[in-house]
Amino acid sequence: MLLVRHKQISDGRLYGNKRAFGKVQIKAVFKSAAISVLRGDNAFRRKYDRMRQSGVADKAARNAVSRALAATMLGVWKSGKKYNDHYQEVMQRGGCRRQG
């Protein structure tokens, strides 16, 4: 499954393009996950509520939650650490500073 569009080149000659197929499926997975996560009391729901209270449209707020969910999933996957629901909120308040 391709996630990125790329050109097929051999000996300097362009002979076709490969289209990205996985993008639609991955997008659908994260959008449906965002809808599911909004049913609970968690950091994503609080982000969504803050955005809606500040006047952001429902669709835009859901898309932002979907992107935040994807970014969080990637970070948890790469770091191997457990997910902390309050991590972002603690960081915004300045409660957890790194020692340098």
3-state helix, strand, coil in the chain (%, to 5): 55, 10, 35
Long-range contacts of 80-86 (CB under 8 A, 24+ apart): 85/42, 85/43, 86/43
Q: Is the pLDDT of residue 14 over 80?
A: no
Assign 1 a pLDDT band (cuts: 50, 70, 90). Answer: very low
> Does pTM top 0.85 for this prediction?
no
The pLDDT value given to residue 46: 94
Assign 88 a pLDDT band (cuts: 50, 70, 90). Answer: low
pLDDT, tens only, 34-72: 999 999 999 999 999 999 999 999 999 999 999 999 999
Helices (H) and strands (E) in the chain, counts: 4, 2
